């Protein structure tokens, strides 16, 4: 067995899911090849480090803080505003929105439009379109 095949089968060997014949071949190769044996030990070490990193110790004061927060929230009554205050706030928002729209309309109407800027010159008004030949007649080949 060569090192490449051994490297491919190391994960299954460590998990114990390798076929019996292949497992024997990998073990023989690991006994003979120091590089592959070192690779196996590095993989085992990496797995140990990862497993240790995943372990989290709970904070011993966490339950105390949670219970204190629950007790304090049970004793205090949440402050809610009266219904008429919410209605007044909604009305104030509506009035301010209407005021802004009205002011915008007034300011928009204050500008003076240019006098006769949309008027057509007399020459364009007197042109009779019926007398103009169609371009398609001129371009026919």
Domain definitions of the chain by residue range: 3-54
Indicate the average pLDDT of the chain. Answer: 81
Tell me which residue has tokens 């008004």: 125
> What single string gives the DSSP state of each residue in 1-13?
--HHHHHHHHHHH
The size of the chain, in residues, is 141
Query: pLDDT at position 137, please?
Result: 61
**Contact between 1 and 26 (Cβ < 8 Å):** yes
- Paired tokens of 83: 């219904």
Residue pLDDT, tens place only, 34-71: 999 999 999 899 888 888 878 777 777 888 888 888 88
Query: pLDDT at position 99, please?
Result: 96
């Amino acid at each position: 067995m060569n090192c490449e095949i051994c490297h491919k089968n190391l994960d299954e060997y460590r998990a114990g899911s390798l076929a019996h014949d292949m497992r024997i071949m990998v073990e023989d190769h690991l006994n003979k090849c120091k590089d592959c044996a070192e690779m196996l030990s590095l993989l085992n070490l990496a797995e140990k480090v990862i497993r240790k990193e995943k372990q989290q110790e709970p904070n011993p004061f966490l339950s105390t803080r949670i219970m204190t927060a629950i007790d304090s929230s049970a004793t205090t009554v949440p402050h809610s505003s009266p219904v008429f205050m919410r209605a007044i706030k909604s009305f104030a928002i509506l009035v301010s929105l209407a005021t802004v729209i009205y002011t915008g309309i007034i300011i928009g109407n204050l500008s003076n439009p240019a006098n006769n800027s949309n008027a057509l010159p007399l020459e364009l008004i007197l042109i009779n379109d019926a007398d103009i030949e169609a371009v398609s007649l001129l371009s026919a080949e």
